[in-house]
Amino acid sequence: MFRAFTKIFPFAFALLCYSHGGAQDFQKTGTSGFVFLEIPVSARYLGMGETGLTLSNAHADGLFINPALISLGSSTFSVLASYSEWYVETTHQALGLTYRLPTVGTLGFQLVYFDFGEIQKTRNPFASRNEFGSYIELGTYTAGGLVAGVSYARQLTDKFSFGSSVKYVRETIDIEAATNVILDIGFYYDTGFRALFYQGTGIRSLRLGAFLKDFGLESKYVNEKFKMPQQLKFGISSDLIGDLSSPNRLTILAEAVHPNDANERIHLGIETILLNSLILRAGYKLNYDEENLTLGAGLRFQYNQKSAAFDFSYMNHDYLDTTVRYTLSLEL
């Protein structure tokens, strides 16, 4: 019975969430707040076209991709630090930590900050009379978004894992602020499928994943209510050469994304590693107005059963500046 439950529950859960979002098929664009939550955190994830919720070697990346992943792998402790100069002189930075407790599960902590920078503050002295005149400069003000969250994940069988995060989110503009508490829930399933074709080549694995991101009640800014930028994701990945522990590997990934503030999207990604050190990535995002191609690369260093990696990624934007993200990670 337990085995059947672990297989059926993720799909029943996903169907329930999809039914909830399906009733909102009116104009979606611009209907949610806290949109900085949709910005990808890690360079590895971004470089593969924002895919990765089925990679069991995600470590601290899993805090932001799929919390079920932090329960996998052999490392006891992992840490991630990421930074990006985003569009129009804004910056996005994140910190993630995971720690494995024997027989208990894996705990995680995440901190994300999005800085909008300084903005000129002005006032219309004739606003009370519904007239227009010269605006008075009142200096500058700041705006930003903050996420602080805790996660728990556990590997229930050698094939199935689940994880969840509770996150406090806050967005400020000058003296005004909006806050909320939201939830992430993720599942990971290794099908165990293995197939070899001609001369030992072929599909070496097949992994599935589901992730409900930023689920929460409506929030309020001043007098305006808005919903959270909830996303429901389904993913699949396979290793065509080697496996996730091989020094030479080629992995392909595909994910379907159902956001509540935009149309459905498809993400495609590929990752290859050479000699257990050089990593190359590419991805493509379908059904976006301006975003499409992503590229990435990384270097992995190993010493005395410890592993460190430096990754960077590039994302093309048709109208705004292209973005580059840098991520440093460590596993002990």
Name which of 11-20, 61-70, 114-123 the model is least confident about: 11-20
What is the reported pTM? 0.86
Answer whether 185's CB lies under 8 Å from 13's CB.
Answer: yes
Q: Which residues fall within 8 angstroms of residue 168, CB to CB, at 6 or more apart?
A: 147, 148, 149, 179, 180, 181
What integer is the mean pLDDT of 275-286? 96
Identify the pLDDT of residue 130: 61
What integer is the mean pLDDT of 45-69? 96
Is pLDDT at 25 greater than 60 in this prediction? Answer: no
Model pLDDT for residues 216-247, shown as the tens digit of each residue: 999 888 888 889 999 999 999 999 888 888 99
Identify the pLDDT of residue 88: 75
Is pLDDT at 16 greater than 50 in this prediction? Answer: no
Extents of the domains making up the chain: 2-331
Write the class of the CATH domain 2-331: mainly beta
Name which of 55-59, 122-126, 262-266, 269-273 the model is least confident about: 122-126
Answer whether 42's CB lies under 8 Å from 65's CB.
Answer: yes
More confident residue, 209 or 2: 209
Tokens 């290859």 locate to 272
- Report the C-alpha gap between 225 and 222 in whole angstroms: 8
Is pLDDT at 22 greater than 50 in this prediction? Answer: no
Beta strands of the chain (E only): which ranges? 77-85, 91-101, 105-123, 136-155, 160-173, 176-190, 207-215, 219-221, 224-226, 231-241, 249-259, 265-274, 278-286, 291-303, 306-317, 323-331
Strand, coil or helix: 44: helix
Identify the pLDDT of residue 30: 57
Model pLDDT for residues 289-313, shown as the tens digit of each residue: 888 999 999 999 988 878 999 999 9
Identify the pLDDT of residue 306: 86
Supply φ then ψ for residue 41, to 5 degrees: -95, -45
Answer whether 272's CB lies under 8 Å from 300's CB.
Answer: no
Tokens 């979606």 locate to 28
Q: Which residues pair with 235 in a beta bridge?
A: 209, 255
Is pLDDT at 200 greater than 60 in this prediction? Answer: no
What integer is the mean pLDDT of 203-207? 79
From the CA atom positions of the chain, what is the Rg in Å?
A: 21
What integer is the mean pLDDT of 31-40? 88
Supply φ then ψ for residue 223, to 5 degrees: -110, 5
Strand, coil or helix: 81: strand
Tokens 């630090």 locate to 81
Model pLDDT for residues 306-332, shown as the tens digit of each residue: 899 999 999 988 777 778 999 999 998
Residue 178 structure tokens: 């909006």
Model pLDDT for residues 144-185, shown as the tens digit of each residue: 999 999 999 999 999 999 999 999 999 999 888 999 999 999
